[in-house]
Amino acid sequence: MQPLTLTMAVSQTITDTHIQDFIIKAIKNVCSTMIRQDASFVERTAEAAYTGFKDKVYVFGSVGFEGEINGVVYLCIPDDFASHAASEILGMSRNEVTMSGDEVVRDVIGEITNMTVGGFKNALCDIGFPCKLTLPTVVRGNNLEVVSLKSATRHIFQFDCGSHRLVADIQLKHE
């Protein structure tokens, strides 16, 4: 009987196509599984993706990752969609979510962000870039904007989920 040999994926270059494919798969999986809605990729954009965010309340969830590659993913979610997601995931009415307070929505968006970035991170690990996740951070408000990290490569993607526009802002640093 031959011994079982395990080999790690050989590290390779991370292309723009990898990043796009990984985040599309992660967003679609989390939206369909947790919120029971299909998410569709709209486009990759520049920083101008945040121009419409100034006048509305949004919830921004972020989770970082550290290891062979370091970075952070920000999910920018309209406040009304965040409440809808909390309602779907927790099996509560929108009224019950509102009465439960902001903490319920922050917890749900933290979990959605954690699951999405976990899927993205797993895809990075599969191509030879092992890394670990940081704890999620969630901020809610208007006039919010994500600032580029120094010496990071930035990738911004827009998705539609129902009638809502979601943004995934990915910033990567190779060490």
* pLDDT tens track for 72-131: 999 999 998 999 998 989 988 888 988 888 889 999 999 999 999 999 999 999 999 999
Tell which residue, 140, 74, 78, 75, has the closest CA to residue 104.
140
In this predicted structure, which of 45-49, 56-60, 76-80 has the lowest mean pLDDT?
45-49
For residue 52, what pLDDT is reported? 64
Instruction: Name the helix (H) or strand (E) containing 26.
Output: helix 16-30
Residue 64 has pLDDT above 90, yes or no: yes
> Burial of 73 by CB count in 10 Å (0-12 exposed, 13-18 middle, 19+ buried)?
buried
Angle at 113 between CA 109 and CA 118, to 5 degrees: 150
- How is residue 32 annotated by DSSP? I
Cα separation, 143 vs 54, whole angstroms = 4
For residue 14, what pLDDT is reported? 85
SS3 3: coil
- How is residue 6 annotated by DSSP? -
CATH number of 16-174: 3.40.1550.10
Cα separation, 131 vs 115, whole angstroms = 15
pLDDT digits (tens, 9 = 90+) for 8-44: 444 578 889 999 999 999 999 999 999 888 999 998 8
Residue with token string 């970035």: 117
* pTM of this structure: 0.87
For residue 150, what pLDDT is reported? 82
For residue 6, what pLDDT is reported? 34
